[in-house]
Amino acid sequence: MPVPSFGLGTFRLKGQTVIDSVRNALDVGYRAIDTAQIYGNEADIGQAIAESGVARSSLFLTTKIWTDNLPASKLIPSLRDSLSKLRTDQVDLTLIHWPSPGGAVPLAETLRALAEAKAEGLTKQIGVSNFTIALLRQAIALAGREAIATNQVEISPYLQNRKLAAFAREEGIHLTSYMTLAYGKVLQEPVLTAIADRHGATPAQVALAWALRQGWSVIPSSTRRENLQGNLKAMQMHLDDEDMAAIGALDRNERLANPEGLAPQWD
């Protein structure tokens, strides 16, 4: 199954906040949920899903392996722990959350362990996150492009990551855009507001529709039911070429996720 085009992000949400967000999202129609070991919310998400009454078979669950767990000796045990917290025997997608800092753990080792996890039925698909062109090249050489379900990267109207996006398109690697709304910054953007007014939409819907039109998946998060519901409407929006060009002109290489000691040498 391809990575769903629309999912729920859960970064920075914990405890009752994430339980409510997941419950509301499932209630209004979301069927894909993105989490990570480092978010510390897998158990909360597992609880919310279990209490929702939504069948596990109708959901697409993604988790991400933290850098401490990239060695072969740790990856599968850590994924089993994630599955236990999520109350499932298999996730749909497992990603390398960040490339190993300083290349301390060889990518070949981690990809082999992920392939083993897939062979054991712990995950249906595997992929990467925060991978640059150089790292993607390595991953493709090691695992084959068909093995990489997605590269999850920061893309927003203010950080359009064009070189990476062009490379991924050439290689047939699907991209998932995270922080598409730039932590809410784009909601105040006059260009998006004007487009939203023309379409009878919200700036958030415009930004998400812009990403979706380029073939990427999006995983916006929200703690408010009305915003969760509103964001979904981006899938029905049609932006014309003029809209796309106006948003294209907003690119200013403004990166928000750039943690020291973790971030690779960006393109």
Residue 1's pLDDT is what?
Answer: 84
Catalytic residues: 39
Please give the Cα distance from 107 to 161 (Å, whole number): 23
Contacts of 117 (CB under 8 A, 6+ apart): 75, 76, 79, 94, 123, 126
Residue 227's pLDDT is what?
Answer: 97
pTM: 0.97
How much is the average pLDDT of 228-240?
Answer: 97
Residue 238's pLDDT is what?
Answer: 96
Residue 81's pLDDT is what?
Answer: 98
Please give the Cα distance from 63 to 43 (Å, whole number): 12
Q: Write the pLDDT tens digit of every residue in 60-86.
A: 999 999 999 999 999 999 999 999 999
The rounded mean pLDDT for the chain is 98
Question: What percentage of residues in the chain have a pLDDT greater than 90?
Answer: 100
Please give the domain boundaries of the chain with CATH numbers for all domains. Answer: 8-248 (3.20.20.100)
Residue 249's pLDDT band (cuts 50, 70, 90): very high
How much is the average pLDDT of 171-198?
Answer: 97
Residue 100's pLDDT band (cuts 50, 70, 90): very high
| β-strands 60-65, 148-154 pairing | unpaired
Question: What percentage of residues in the chain have a pLDDT greater than 70?
Answer: 100
Residue 192's pLDDT band (cuts 50, 70, 90): very high
Residue 190's pLDDT is what?
Answer: 98
Residue 166's pLDDT is what?
Answer: 98
Please give the Cα distance from 68 to 43 (Å, whole number): 19
Rg (CA), the chain: 18
Residue 110's pLDDT is what?
Answer: 98
Q: Which residue has the tokens 């590269």?
A: 151
Q: Write the pLDDT tens digit of every residue in 128-139.
A: 999 999 999 999
Q: Write the pLDDT tens digit of every residue in 216-233.
A: 999 999 999 999 999 999
Residue 41's pLDDT is what?
Answer: 98
Answer whether residue 120 shows pLDDT above 90.
yes
Residue 95's pLDDT is what?
Answer: 99
